[in-house]
């Protein structure tokens, strides 16, 4: 598996060097006044073009290429093709979001080993404790693959690809499968719930439920610090002198990586259980469009915000509501959910972060700050139903706010989008990733 991951890295770095050399050569020729038709021929950035160039030179670049699967080289070339396309679209204004930088070379020491298989023998063995992958053969799983095997046996799922990845000192194989889903409805289709996420409580629902924040990173911080200090006492790598890390350093680094992986797994498990329960219970869910990146600029709260996983909660609710026949409404980022009184609708001009209780000066309502925000979010569902799928004006202390309703809609198999609509999307044909761990 390490050999296949290394082959993907070699193909990626070779193709990137080739692309940069051609780009630099054409730029130099233009500076000399060479006409466009006489410039060095450009290299195609598509996967097919990069694969053609790689196949023509791989006997010289990688004479060991028959020892690994062709899918290993295809993994590196496909990653580079997508990275170049994202960079070009970002420069041309075709890609929204943050600017995408030019692809960089992958390091053997710092890159996470992974390889993706799309063709060949990919199957789950009848004992459900082994999987078969191209060239890697039969691999024993640490966990049973019975859930995936049942769907494959019933004909309701088809394996599209398998990705092998080293994470936290363990190898994981992830199957991307096309699943036929039955139409589902939430336990309470007419129920509307507002979800306000925070640090003290991970989520406060408008129903009055308070979901405690487990703070997995805080609980493991003492052990992580101890392992980090132990790692610093070992002889590590030095890029300036070319020094290789010692075996003790590698073992200490593995222990530290496993500690971080355990925290990530605990956080992922808790978020999945929470979002699944909400999506299968309520028909309409209203959440806020939080600026998580801006919130991380607060040095005192950045670690706790990152540990809570605000963005992950919204991401999971977006596709799980579509799976279960519900809808997800996104309140505008500037909507004053915490400043607005859930009783009379009065909006405060200022509300300090340390004020954990909301006191309305107009009607005298005194309630928990997060509980008040969740009630205001739940009330937005009625405004959305009244105005349809268009923007709805909302009360704001100092500037105008719009509320946009968004629900998860089905596109092609293997993709999930978030669009503005007021109807529940049809079910079936979505793609699910099933993870199983293997040593």
Catalytic sites, residue numbers: 196, 288, 370
The encoded tokens of residue 222 equal 């003492």
- Residues 327, 319 contacting (CB under 8 angstroms): no
The encoded tokens of residue 270 equal 């808790």
Return d(Cα 72, Cα 161) in angstroms, integer.
13
Say whether 252 sits in a helix, a strand or coil.
helix
Say whether 406 sits in a helix, a strand or coil.
coil
Return d(Cα 114, Cα 2) in angstroms, integer.
8
The encoded tokens of residue 185 equal 């409805």
Return d(Cα 174, Cα 334) in angstroms, integer.
38
Return d(Cα 47, Cα 238) in angstroms, integer.
35
Q: Which residues contact 339 (CB under 8 A, 6 or more apart)?
A: 347, 348, 349, 350, 351, 397
Return d(Cα 376, Cα 367) in angstroms, integer.
13
Return d(Cα 202, Cα 209) in angstroms, integer.
11
- Residues 194, 377 contacting (CB under 8 angstroms): yes
Nearest to 115 by CA among 142, 145, 76: 76
- Residues 136, 1 contacting (CB under 8 angstroms): yes
Return d(Cα 156, Cα 137) in angstroms, integer.
25
DSSP letter (8 states) at residue 65: G
Return d(Cα 39, Cα 28) in angstroms, integer.
10
Question: In angstroms, what is the C-alpha Rg of the chain?
Answer: 26
């Amino acid at each position: 598996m390490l050999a296949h991951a290394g082959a993907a890295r070699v193909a990626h770095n070779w193709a990137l060097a080739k692309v940069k050399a051609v780009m630099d050569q054409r730029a130099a020729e233009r500076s000399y006044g060479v006409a466009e038709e006489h410039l060095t021929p450009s290299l195609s950035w598509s996967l097919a073009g990069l694969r053609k160039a790689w196949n023509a030179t791989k006997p010289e670049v990688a004479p060991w290429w028959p020892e690994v699967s062709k899918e290993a080289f295809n993994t590196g070339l496909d990653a580079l093709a997508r990275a170049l396309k994202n960079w070009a679209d970002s420069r041309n204004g075709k890609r929204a979001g943050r600017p995408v930088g030019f692809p960089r070379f992958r390091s053997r020491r710092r890159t996470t080993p992974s390889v993706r298989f799309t063709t060949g023998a990919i199957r789950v063995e009848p004992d459900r404790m082994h999987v078969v992958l191209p060239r890697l053969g039969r691999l024993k799983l640490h966990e049973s693959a019975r859930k995936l095997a049942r769907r494959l046996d019933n004909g309701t799922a088809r394996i599209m690809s398998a990705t092998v990845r080293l994470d936290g000192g363990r190898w994981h194989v992830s199957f991307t499968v096309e699943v036929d889903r039955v139409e589902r409805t939430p336990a309470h289709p007419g129920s509307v719930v507002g979800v306000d996420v925070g640090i003290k409580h991970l989520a406060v629902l408008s129903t009055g439920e308070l979901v405690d924040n487990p703070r997995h990173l805080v609980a493991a911080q003492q052990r992580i610090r101890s392992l980090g200090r132990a790692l610093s006492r070992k002889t590590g790598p030095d890029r300036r002198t070319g020094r290789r890390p010692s075996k003790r350093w590698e073992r200490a680094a593995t222990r530290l990586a496993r500690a971080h992986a355990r925290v990530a797994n605990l956080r992922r498990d808790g978020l999945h259980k929470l979002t699944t329960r909400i999506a299968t219970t309520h028909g309409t869910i209203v959440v806020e469009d939080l600026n998580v990146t801006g919130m991380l600029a607060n040095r005192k709260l950045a670690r706790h915000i990152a540990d809570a996983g605000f963005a992950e909660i919204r991401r999971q609710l977006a596709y799980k509501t579509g799976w279960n026949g519900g809808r997800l409404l996104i309140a505008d980022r500037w909507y004053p959910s915490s400043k607005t009184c859930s009783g009379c609708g009065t909006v405060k001009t200022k509300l300090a972060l340390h004020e954990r209780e909301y006191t309305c000066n107009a009607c005298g309502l005194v309630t928990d700050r997060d509980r008040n925000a969740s009630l205001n979010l739940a009330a937005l569902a009625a405004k959305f139903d009244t105005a349809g799928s268009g923007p709805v004006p909302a009360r704001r202390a100092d500037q105008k706010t719009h509320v946009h309703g968004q629900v998860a809609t089905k596109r092609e198999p293997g993709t999930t989008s978030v669009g503005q609509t007021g109807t529940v999307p049809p079910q079936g044909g979505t793609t699910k990733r099933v993870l199983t761990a293997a040593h």
